[in-house]
Structure 1
């Protein structure tokens, strides 16, 4: 299970870079993504991985009880990932809010990865 959670966490971390790239492009160009051709397919793709990650990460946290990671953080990160996957396409998204969510998600993912690597 730890290999699966590690792989999914790395994939989501890579998605956070994609979120930032899409957001930066939208902000610089003042564009909005086409909902049915860009936003929804991308958000659906992220959701599949994100839902799997939430399930395995929650089970792992409940089983191993790591020192600084809690189920509530996993749930919050899951929700923020879904939000980011959509908001990244819109130039009217608040930069501060977007960056704060992104950094929060990246922090939890990196802490989780570090904890997994400690236990290998």
Structure 2
């Protein structure tokens, strides 16, 4: 059974996975299809929400790593995912974003979030 902190971490991780998927769709819409995003209507609200979730996620993740010490998840991975989430939340709206770099960042974020979810599901060893 998950503790309250781990349950909240699982929920926030799921929300960030969803935001990661949304960022990919925004990338396709605004970068690939070359549409223009409105800063106040599209970019700022999305980036602010990702930042809010990422800040909470990092706080809960640090606690989880300290207490549970999962085998295949390290602090540096989490810090990279945290930074990448925030960078991606703005880059997905920019027309000059490089496709390959964006896709690789998106995959990296997804991988880290999924590894964390798997670690949350594992019973303590």
TM (norm. structure 1) is: 0.94
- For structure 1, which segment, 19-28 or 106-115, has the greater mean C-alpha deviation from structure 2 after superposition? 19-28
The gaps in structure 2 that reach 5 residues or longer are: none
Name 1:36's counterpart in structure 2. 40
Name 2:86's counterpart in structure 1. 82
The equivalent position to 1:104 in structure 2, one of 105, 108, 125, is 108
The equivalent position to 2:65 in structure 1, one of 58, 61, 66, is 61
Q: Does 1:11 align with 2:15?
A: yes
Residue-by-residue CA offset, 1:48-104 (whole Å, 9 max, x unaligned): 111000100011011111001111111110000001100111121000000010000
The SS at the match of 2:104 is helix
* Counterpart-to-counterpart distance in 2, 1:33 and 1:119: 44
Over 6 Å off, 4+ runs: none
- Supply the RMSD in Å over aligned alpha carbons: 1.3
Q: Does 1:20 align with 2:24?
A: yes
The equivalent position to 2:96 in structure 1, one of 83, 92, 96, is 92
* Counterpart-to-counterpart distance in 1, 2:80 and 2:36: 26
Task: Report how many aligned residue pairs link the two structures.
Answer: 120
Deviation of 1:37 (Å): 2.8
* Counterpart-to-counterpart distance in 1, 2:123 and 2:47: 32
TM (norm. structure 2) is: 0.90
* Counterpart-to-counterpart distance in 2, 1:53 and 1:20: 20
